[in-house]
């Protein structure tokens, strides 16, 4: 077979393959998806159209699906609850309408029903508004904080232990002298009394009286001797105490 015949043969084969394959399919871009807020606004507009055309059941179905959608924006959600309240009032479901009005006012307390709303439905809306608790007043701003001056004493270390209690004061030398001198005075007075008693006994013994027996004279004399002896002993003790007091007063105290 000649070269020209081969070229013609391959050309016809290529044309046949191209005709069998048909036109090349074109890839179409996907249709744009509406944003959630735009989609929900469209649903609210469609429900409003149903409400205006008195298709109340259809409007209620659209609105109930819209308020159940967790992605519905707050302004759209408030309008949907308000329109659902109007739709339920049109269906003579006053309790359900009041509940929808209350939800709408929870989201936006400034909502109002349209001007063409019937007096009965308007009265139901206002009654629902009055039954709601008043909004709490805004909290006052916090008072400005004042800088506290630095406490100089806060930087000083504090002792963890309690302060030691002062020991009771020991008696001073002056107190000892006073007590010793007082005791010596008592002893000296007692000795003087004993001496006086002895002198009286001796005087009574030197002047016997009528009717007095020898035993009485001996007893009186014995009392005198005892008085003299007691006076001597007490005198010695008193003198020793006075001497000790004087010694303590003139002797300096040794240091610790």
Please tell me whether the overall predicted TM-score, pTM, comes out greater than 0.85 for this model. Answer: no
Identify the CA nearest to 118 among candidates 159, 147, 89: 89
pLDDT tens digits for range 67-113: 999 999 999 999 999 999 999 999 999 999 999 999 999 999 999 99
At residue 240 the predicted structure's pLDDT band, cuts being 50, 70 and 90, is confident
DSSP state of 93: -
- Would you identify the CATH topology of the domain 36-131? 1.25.40
Degrees, nearest 5: CA angle 105-92-55:
90
CA distances (Å), 88 to each of 63, 64, 84, 114, in order?
Answer: 11, 11, 6, 15
Domain ranges for the chain, please list them.
Answer: 36-131, 173-250
At residue 10 the predicted structure's pLDDT band, cuts being 50, 70 and 90, is very low
**What are the start-end ranges of the H helices in the chain?**
3-21, 36-52, 56-67, 74-90, 94-107, 119-131, 173-206, 214-250
Distance (Å, whole) CA 197 – CA 40: 134
Identify the CA nearest to 85 among candidates 98, 67, 72: 98
Residue of 47 and 239 predicted with greater confidence: 47
- Asked whether residue 27 carries a pLDDT value surpassing 90, the answer given is no
pLDDT tens digits for range 116-142: 999 999 999 999 999 987 766 667 777
User: What radius of gyration do the chain's Cα atoms show?
Assistant: 65
pLDDT tens digits for range 195-217: 666 666 556 656 555 555 667 66
Distance (Å, whole) CA 172 – CA 181: 14
């Amino acid at each position: 077979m000649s070269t020209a015949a081969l070229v013609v043969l391959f050309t016809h084969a290529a044309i046949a393959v191209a005709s069998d394959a048909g036109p090349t399919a074109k890839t179409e871009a996907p249709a744009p998806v509406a944003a959630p807020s735009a989609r929900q606004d469209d649903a609210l507009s469609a429900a409003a159209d149903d409400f205006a055309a008195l298709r109340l059941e259809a409007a209620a179905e659209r609105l109930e699906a819209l308020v159940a959608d967790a992605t519905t924006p707050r302004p759209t959600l408030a309008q949907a609850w308000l329109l659902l309240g109007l739709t339920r009032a049109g269906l003579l479901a006053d309790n359900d309408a009041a509940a929808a009005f209350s939800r709408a006012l929870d989201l936006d307390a400034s909502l109002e029903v349209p001007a063409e709303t019937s007096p009965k439905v308007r009265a139901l809306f206002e009654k629902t508004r009055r039954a709601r608790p008043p909004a709490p007043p805004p909290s006052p701003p916090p008072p400005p904080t004042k800088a506290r001056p630095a406490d100089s004493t806060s930087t000083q270390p504090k002792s963890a232990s309690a302060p030691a209690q002062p020991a009771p004061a020991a008696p001073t030398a002056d107190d000892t002298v006073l007590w010793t001198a007082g005791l010596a005075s008592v002893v000296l007075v007692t000795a003087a009394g004993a001496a006086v008693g002895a002198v009286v006994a001796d005087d009574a013994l030197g002047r016997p009286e009528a009717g007095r027996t020898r035993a009485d004279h001996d007893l009186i004399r014995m009392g005198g001797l005892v008085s003299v002896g007691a006076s001597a002993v007490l005198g010695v003790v008193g003198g020793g105490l006075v001497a000790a007091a004087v010694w303590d007063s003139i002797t300096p105290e040794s240091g610790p």
